[in-house]
Chains A and B, each alone.
Chain A
Amino acid sequence: MNIQFLNQNEKNKITEKLKEQFGIEKIPFNLIKIGQERIMAISEKIKKEEIEKIQNIAFIEGIGVYFAKEIENEIRLSIEGTHLLKEQISKNIFELNEKQAEQWMQGNELNLSTGKKGFIIIKFNDDFLGTGKASENKIGNFIPKNRRLKAREFNYQYLQ
């Protein structure tokens, strides 16, 4: 696994983009990059030297949590990325209704006009449901297959 530990400067650049996109001020954990795009979040105790030490011992199959992807100078947060920073997300949030949330979690793109362009945070009630890409009349969906709801499983039968 090709692991690149992001230094403070590189982390600051990502924070700046996240501030611009979603109003996020601070990333309270370390970041590493795997390959060209994937950014992983790791606890602050895991230092560069520690990773290198383990790499000398065994091939690292995985590290931390997949946090975001850097795509064409923009950041697309993963579901966990939105969970980790949910307290700070204040911009470009699009709230879905129950029916839309069900479709979203089934992995469908939504034929909706949000009035925004680019990456937006998808939310339903208190749940952050990852990031979508808004264009004129639709929101592109990035929910991975193993996180999708099967049809008929969105069971919001709340007590009345």
Chain B
Amino acid sequence: MEKSDNLVQIDHVTFGYDRRRAVLTDMSMRFPRGSVVAIMGSSGCGKTTLLRLIGGVVRPQSGTILFDREPVDPSDIEHLFALRRRLGMLFQFGALFTDLTVFENVAFPLREHTDLPESMIRDIVLMKLNAVGLRGAAALRIAEVSGGMARRIALGRAIALDPELIMYDEPFAGLDPISLGVTANLIRRLNDATGATSIVVSHDVDECFHICDYAYLISSGRIAGEGTAQQLRASDDPEVRQFILGEPDGPVHFHYPAQPLDQELGLTR
């Protein structure tokens, strides 16, 4: 079977949790196989929603989402679960199972979806933990690990079944400089080593540009800009420039909408 060039393809998707207010409008995006694609934008712009659409958690009001050439249909449970076995997701704070140990967390997808004997599972889990540098922490309880470690364990769990698509929801948020470097490094290396496709949702411009092949900038539910790191840095678009350069005021206003100051202070009527 001819493999599609794009593992994931989003075509003219419009979506809103509330029917009256659309979070995303007419979005079209391409995620080529084997690449790392970043989705950037300020908080609340709908980045996480995109991941939920791709994972089939919610259904778009219009437009289609294709995974490996097949449409993602939330109502077809079997198809959906088969799709989800091919992807791994890293949640913002890890979303590790607090009642299990580090080892058991990474072993979870293997135990749920495969009939492999425990000895094989043990080997695979240790290898995954080794890939993220935490093989020595296998016996720890989740309450005992730090934030950065939790993210890495979650990453180990996300790649346990060697998924074709790995999605990262704000993997850099709140990390110290060393952990940042480690995480970014891991994302790139894992992607290249396993031939997977990665989607990184983040607002950390520098780290994203460091590792991604292509990036989309989302603003107000639309694509404000897209391209390689180089292209985006050279862009003239005011929205793109404001985000990339981190300017406090621009198309995204500094002030929350309010009446004029002198009116509020009672200086004029």
Is B one of A's binding partners? no
Chain B interfacial positions (CB closer than 8 Å to A): none
